[in-house]
Amino acid sequence: MSGSSRRVRWAVPSPGHVKRRAARACSVLGAVAVLSAGLAPGAVADTQSQQWYLSAMKAEEMWKVSTGKGVKVAVVDSGVNHTTESLKGQVLTEEVPKALNYKATDDYLGHGTAMAELIAGTGAGGTVKGLAPDAKIVPYRVSMTGLDKAEAKKAPDLSAVIKAVADSDVKIINMSFTIDLNYDDIREAIQYAHEKGKLMFAGTGNDAEEYNYIGFPAAYPYVVGVAASDKNGKVGKFSEYGNYVDLAAPGLDVPTWCDETFRGYCPSEGTSVATAVASASAALVWSAHPDWTAYQVLGSLIDTAGRDWARDDPSTYLGYGLIRPRKVLEKADYEPGPADTDPLARENKAGVLTAESGTPATPSPAPSAAESSKGSPGGEAVAAEADSLGSTALGVVVGVAAAVLVIGGGAFAVVRSRRRT
């Protein structure tokens, strides 16, 4: 099946959802006025201060050890605008095979550009600064929700893109999107990329409250499924869950481009954002340890993830815990384990257990008390070590009252609207 007949989605809210939320939140225009970094003098501090996770993860300390230099990340998305202040000099368009380079730098949504900036943005002119600011981006545009039929037919096939990346020297593939069905050719391409030593990250999806579909490619073997957490380490209420959730990363209240006009940033939330942060985290570790394999990089991130449950009993909501690359980088002699041992061997062998491959997953039953302490958005808050994401109060606080786990509600709702990404 061709890529044009199966568009991937990045979970933008439906028109009805937007209207319902507009009733209790200000307009996107208002958000642009607040977060329009790079557009006026003095806007620098305003936008970059919104990147709360940089201080939480102690990015400045990590950058003394690693900035992602020497690592290339393929952003497979809606395209990447290489002319933004943050991405000038960061996007390697020339490395995209000609046959697959259809408007790779023409981002028709603003989504791919936002993901690229979260990974490797320089922060120039007050724009978003990436967690791995010296990594490089190789852009690929695929058919996603929002692309008209004529353009969709010209977009390269997703499986072909993955195989092309696999044959390059790109180390990490960022896929901030979901597909509700399992396709054999994509699964085969993922397997091929795995055999070529690539590390792949994908969002688990943003529909937990309504459908909780199995989110591919996150659910494929050898793809790291990433859930979204807020600044307190709490899983987002929208973040889809299941046994294919491997790690969690910051994914709420993060500034990304409002739309394809690139005129300002809006606060956003979603597993797309979390995926980009996870990819950037891997880039930092791989840059510091260029001789490590994908297994070793991933294994180190899993072993050092913040959690208050047993290492061999991952959470349905947060997987092995909140990603903490600093815990790897702060030890020059960190032992990553065997180069050829898959840290997700059990999950990759078992596959998705919540439903048969390719069919919508039925919502999981109410979690037990034990599961609530491992990430359930409806349970009581359970504090883990205080140093989960970075410092003091940002611990693994998993499970929190629904009123606190906002999807644009609570205190933030009356201040600004959010873009679900």
Catalytic positions: 77, 111, 272
In angstroms, the Cα distances linking 152 to 104, 147, 164, 179, 261 are 13, 6, 19, 16, 20
Q: Would you mind telling me the total number of residues written for the chain in this entry?
A: 421
Q: Is the dihedral of CA 290, 294, 298, 303 positive or negative?
A: negative
- List, in order, residues 6 or more apart from 229 with CB less than 8 Å away: 235, 236, 239, 248, 249, 250, 251, 252, 274, 318, 322
* Two tokens, residue 221: 């073997």
* Two tokens, residue 151: 């353009």
